[in-house]
A and B are shown apart, each in its own frame.
Chain A
């Protein structure tokens, strides 16, 4: 049979498409990161590693990266803390309405990013809903200013957006824990806390790692929330990339920062994948 050719014919369009519109662009910015740019932002074909050395010597770059990482860790941790009780509840406490509750966490997963950021803007704004509510019921006299355009608003918005990304893998991991194990633990005299701590969390660890990594990586790549809700000092590494390709118009530098981001994220993903496998107790589906 000519099946040999059939299979290549089936994947050829996709392969070509991805080569031209995905792989080559990545290869191109990798190349571009080793080039220079003149005063007009024009890329000059002059091979050098200046962009990379600038990244590690100019504190603007590496401190921003560190700050982004820090906020990403805060966001990821918060998401995990919110997701655990939610996932635990749906996996172990409900039977009848499981599908509905599950749909309830999947739904916001796909809900418009920009509109959710917008919602936090009108909630946290100086004349926003939260401030006017607190003044209305008399908790505060003056509107609180730190609510919006601060690290606070950025973190709360990102936590809100990424919690479903974290809750879903954790729930999937919890759901795979045989109910008999939980019962066995209780049968052996362990209370609910002990069972949670000694049985459920260790067995659900791969899901927790996977979810946490999602939030970490997604926060690192975010550039809109800091622009929309952040203060003057809330700048993510992605915003630097955005500026270098926009107003600052230094594409080689922008490419270098992008490539470094990419490398960092790939290392994170690789490491977390490794940890997931290490702590996997069940042969699990991919999340």
Chain B
């Protein structure tokens, strides 16, 4: 074969792209240990200084706390609202199902900024003032979309006869749901929850418009960036990367396990 790729071309190109994807992340991690306050090449000396600066930045810490609170509350509620709905959407045909499926996808497919300004305009009319509460409501809305798409995908893989076997052996629907369905989609639920936590912790477009005085972490970082470069952002970012990478890898693993259905 004359026109065979020069054997190295494809791997080299692929490697270059992967490097491009990871280079900025590596930079952040490296420079979080930079002793200097200017992020220049080469790094003269290393220290944990920016981590201790970060730990003294009260508004940053408050933002972390806010983000965690919003993420946990929003994810929990998205799960409570999303799980039964996803199950019903998987199992039944009902009036308006197609419409509901389309609406659920809206927060994922439509640009966040439009959703953000729409909520900003409408929320006060139903008595929700701009605040972390408004932010949480916004998050529940788009997280329930994520939750439902993730869970629906798993329900689709579930052997429909398992449920019928449950009924056949005398268990009522509610029991079947908790004893047969839930244990078999457990990993997907955990995976989806992790994903939602990460996404909520990182959400900007909707949060940006609904926030009042108390910031979430990404909005706080956004503010710090606008004020100039502060290397403690490197430190907090490194932490965010580490935590979200662990969560995501765990989530990927859990979703993969789902696919091993007994023959």
**Does A221 lie within 8 Å of B25, measured CB to CB?**
no
Taking CB atoms and an 8 Å cut-off, the chain A residues in 23-57 that contact chain B are 23-26, 28-29, 32
Q: What residues of chain A lie closer than 8 Å to B113, measured between beta carbons?
A: 221, 223, 238, 241-242, 258
Question: Does B169 count as interface, using CB distance less than 8 angstroms?
Answer: no
**Does B92 lie within 8 Å of A113, measured CB to CB?**
no
**Does A22 lie within 8 Å of B141, measured CB to CB?**
yes
**Does A118 lie within 8 Å of B89, measured CB to CB?**
no
Quick one: CB contact mask for A1-29 with B, threshold 8 Å, 1 for yes? 00100111011011101101111111011
Question: Does B112 count as interface, using CB distance less than 8 angstroms?
Answer: yes
Query: Closest residue to B174 on the A side, CB-wise?
Result: A6
**Does B85 lie within 8 Å of A192, measured CB to CB?**
no
Question: Does A261 count as interface, using CB distance less than 8 angstroms?
Answer: yes
Question: Does A105 count as interface, using CB distance less than 8 angstroms?
Answer: yes
Q: What residues of chain B lie closer than 8 Å to A116, measured between beta carbons?
A: 24-25
Chain A: how many interface residues by the 8 Å CB criterion? 89
Interface of B is mostly: helix
Query: Closest residue to B43 on the A side, CB-wise?
Result: A129
Q: What residues of chain B lie closer than 8 Å to A117, measured between beta carbons?
A: 225
Interface of A is mostly: helix
Quick one: CB contact mask for B106-136 with A, threshold 8 Å, 1 for yes? 1101111111011111110110000000000
**Does A25 lie within 8 Å of B121, measured CB to CB?**
yes
Number of A-B contacts (CB under 8 A): 258
**Does A132 lie within 8 Å of B222, measured CB to CB?**
no
**Does B39 lie within 8 Å of A14, measured CB to CB?**
no
Residue in B2, B10, B41 with the greatest tally of chain A CB atoms within 10 Å: B41
Give the docked Cα–Cα distance between A116 and B89 (Å).
36
Residue in A86, A119, A217, A251 with the greatest tally of chain B CB atoms within 10 Å: A119
Please give me the 9 A-B residue pairs with the lowest Cβ-Cβ distance, nearest first: A221-B111, A191-B3, A119-B24, A89-B14, A10-B88, A25-B118, A85-B13, A25-B122, A14-B85
Interface residues of A (CB under 8 A from B): 3, 6-8, 10-11, 13-15, 17-18, 20-26, 28-29, 32, 82-83, 85-86, 88-90, 93, 99, 103-108, 110-123, 125, 127-130, 132-133, 136, 160, 163-164, 167, 186, 191-194, 217-218, 220-221, 223-224, 227-228, 238, 241-242, 245, 251, 254-255, 258-259, 261-262, 265-266, 269
Interface residues of B (CB under 8 A from A): 1-5, 10-11, 13-14, 17-18, 20-22, 24-25, 27-28, 31, 38-42, 80-82, 84-85, 87-89, 91-92, 94, 96, 100, 103-104, 106-107, 109-115, 117-123, 125-126, 137-138, 140-141, 144, 148, 173, 195, 198-199, 201-202, 204-205, 208-209, 218, 221-222, 225-226, 229, 233-234, 237, 240-241, 244-245, 248-249, 252, 256
